[in-house]
Amino acid sequence: MYGAVALIDKPINLTSFDVVARMRRVFRAQVGTRVGHTGTLDPLATGLLPICLGEATKFAQRMLDADKGYLATVKLGEATDTADREGSVIATGPTEFSRETIEAALATFIGTISQTPPAFSALKIDGRPAYELARAGKAVTLAPRDITIHAITLTDYRSEQHEFDIEVICSKGTYIRSLAVDIGTALGTVAHLAALRRTLTGGFALSAARPLEDWLGASEELRAQWLLPVDSLVIDSPRLDLDETQTRDIRNGKRVHFDLKDERRASSYRLYSADQTFLGLGEFAVPESNVLRAQRLMSTALES
């Protein structure tokens, strides 16, 4: 096997690196150590974690940059030092709000907004993860950055438990812990993230994922049936089919002429050989030209 994608339903209390390490042991014979994930999930979080195997690691960045979807539970009236339920309570506030008030507050977050990442995050400060400094009791100051909330919907409100569930579709770099805190502020209280489950990553959905324990316990033959091809990572890019000469030249690093009729050019294209094998990604050297060049190619024309 030269490359594939495994969709994992990550369990709670494991880091994304823990999942990668377990999958690396399972697939070491096929891909060696070339295993990676497509976007970190905190140990508290569960849900969709696409794992790239072998040649698929070359295209993982596309998923890192993709929009994400989450189901989150927000707990009202308690702020914690980690912004989630694993931290210590550092402040309390009002807990009684109507459903209409919560929905009105949520609506203010739709669009591009400025968000400050939580102190307990993996972002680096002078080469050290922010969470290391925060755990050591040192002051952590992270710069706010723009993120985009495409949609945010209240799906359940349990007023007696002072918590509610939201469904969020957002851009890369969004911290749902910070979003929970900011929602509390918008309501005139404090809040933290009580639970988180990722449901979408780019074109992948949680419904297609399997629990990690299933992957670890399955036979090699069954796991092979569950794997997705490498080009599933870049399915959003338009497809171009090359002839034998174009295939040979692209794989040898040459530019080729490709008569593309569509004047609206994409930033990248999925390239396929005459026998329908995925070759990698290509682009036009100049947007209005018909000169095609490789962006990133598979090391071999063979796939699993």
pTM equals 0.90
CATH number of the domain that residue 50 is part of: 3.30.2350.10
Largest CA distance in the chain: 70
Looking at the fold, whether 10 and 54 belong to one and the same domain comes out as yes
pLDDT the model gives residue 213: 97
pLDDT in tens, 243-264: 999 999 999 999 999 988 766 7
Looking at the fold, whether 214 and 192 belong to one and the same domain comes out as no
Catalytic status, residue 42: yes
pLDDT the model gives residue 304: 36
Looking at the fold, whether 19 and 119 belong to one and the same domain comes out as no
Q: Which amino acid is at 163?
A: E
Q: What is the mean pLDDT of residues 207-216?
A: 97
State which residues form the domain around 23.
Answer: 3-64+203-233
Q: Running DSSP on this structure, what letter comes out for residue 26?
A: H
Contact 178, 121 (CB under 8 A): no
From 38-42, 81-85, 100-104, 122-126, the region with the lowest mean pLDDT: 122-126
CATH number of the domain that residue 269 is part of: 2.30.130.10
Looking at the fold, whether 243 and 220 belong to one and the same domain comes out as no
The active-site residue, picked from 42, 84, 182, 231, is: 42
Looking at the fold, whether 23 and 118 belong to one and the same domain comes out as no
pLDDT in tens, 276-297: 999 999 999 887 788 999 999 9
Q: Give ∠ CA 14-143-92 in degrees, rounded to 5.
A: 65
* Strand bridging mode 204-205 / 191-201: antiparallel
Give the position of tokens 């497509």: 38
